Amino acid sequence: MTDLETRAAPPRAGALRRAAPALAGYAAVRALGLLALFLWSAARDKSAYTLLTARWDALWYVRVAELGYGYEVRLANGDVHSNLAFFPLLPWLERLVAAVSPLSYADGGFLVSLVASLAAAWGIFAVADHVYGRRAGVCAVLLWAVLPVGIVQSMAYSESLFTALAAWALYAVLTGRWVTAGALALFAGLTRPVGLAVVAAVWVAAVASFVRDRSAPGQDDPHVTAEPATRVRRVLGMALAPLGTAGYVLWVGHRTGKGPLGYLDVQAGWRNGFDGGWAFARFVAEKFTSFPSALAGVGLIAGVASVVWLYVTGVRQRQPLPLLVYSGAVTALALCASSYFGSKPRLLLPAFPLLLPLALALAKARLRRSATILGAVAVASAVYGAFWLNGSGPP
């Protein structure tokens, strides 16, 4: 695996300039997606801005920002949908934007997502550039932008914010900035439950670094092993990383009076849980009970197989250990949860290291060919995103 502490980060002064082509391309793709959404919504007499800021999860985040925690909906079947299921960082930022500007909470969520999506694109570029070079970094960002569910990156959801924090935390790990990595993992853990994947990446990378130190020849030589200050920073990063997730989960348990596992009861009220993928497997199997739906079943199997293939390819290409741990954890949590199945593509959105094998292949292809492929996929993604978001179900 890549030695995490021997590859230096580029100078700060040139970092933005180096990432500029990737960010410009990302902004163009997202603008195309928003344009398609606004045109499609106008044709159906719907408000595209409402679809982006005031439906489904976006409404729950706004309620947390406006009213705090404690709001719940009791359904006829006995399920209880509590806003305690939603982690607090995005609502906190929505409240902050509303406090310092004339914008509403929903406007604040949209603004946070737009800024966070650019930060996420930059973080993805930084990681891919560090591992494979600048051209692969640009391709990785554009691939993330043209994902079929890429429109979610512009919604008042927490995916963009989480991906930004995760990407920069991974970059901090790759460049040996342990305290920064731990702090970013802490904030990622306040954003989504899958923040555990970032914590795992930080911890595994730190432990691997300690093992390398102990196994290095001449370990009493300070020029061979890590400096004591570096080891202290590693430990501090490890200590910081889980505080966000652990703090919120324990607070929910205290608030509900159900102890440390109270958050699991909150998720159970939404019929969310981790069952190893059994519910998802049954959902796919049920598609084969009739011919039209069998095509959807084939598509689902092909999609899961593609995700697994991308991960295995990353392993074979010897991606750095923290990237493999992170993307593996995000993928496992998305595919093996018993949550709403229509949201699984969105739950995979933060697993950007899965795109690195494709980015590397595009980087090696001729520029015209890569541009043609990405351009065609961008148009298809924009159309699909507009169609998908105008549908009846939540993304």
Ordered per-residue pLDDT tens for the chain, 395 residues: 444 444 555 666 588 899 999 999 999 999 999 999 999 999 999 999 999 999 899 999 999 999 999 999 998 888 889 999 999 999 999 999 999 999 999 999 999 999 999 999 999 999 999 999 999 999 999 999 999 999 999 999 999 999 999 999 999 999 999 999 999 999 999 999 999 999 999 999 999 999 988 876 554 444 445 688 889 999 999 999 999 999 999 999 999 999 888 999 999 888 888 877 888 888 888 888 887 888 888 888 998 999 999 999 999 999 999 999 999 999 999 998 877 677 888 999 999 999 999 999 999 999 999 999 999 999 999 999 999 999 877 77
DSSP assignment, residue 56? T
Phi-psi region of 212 (alpha: psi -120 to 50; beta: other; left: phi over 0): alpha
Residue among 101, 97, 124 at smallest CA distance from 112: 97
Record the tokens describing residue 182, joined without a space: 């731990």
The pLDDT value given to residue 68: 95
Which pLDDT value is given to residue 108?
Answer: 97
With contact defined as beta carbons under 8 Å apart, do 53 and 107 qualify?
Answer: yes
- Tokens read off for 61: 């985040």
Residue 352: its pLDDT value, please?
A: 98
User: What's the pLDDT at 247?
Assistant: 97
The length of the chain is: 395
Q: At 80, which helix (H) or strand (E)? A: strand 80-82
Rounded Cα gap, residues 61 and 54, in angstroms: 10
Helix 89-100 and helix 105-132, axial crossing angle in degrees, nearest 10:
120
Residue 278 Cα to chain centre, angstroms? 23
Q: Is 379 helix (H, G, I), strand (E, B) or coil?
A: helix
What value does the CA radius of gyration of the chain take, rounded to a whole number of Å? 21
Q: Which residues contact 327 (CB under 8 A, 6 or more apart)?
A: 311, 314, 351, 352, 353, 354
Q: What is the dihedral of CA 108, 334, 345, 159, to 10 degrees?
A: 20
pLDDT number for residue 100: 97
In the numeric block, the tokens 């706004």 are attached to: 62
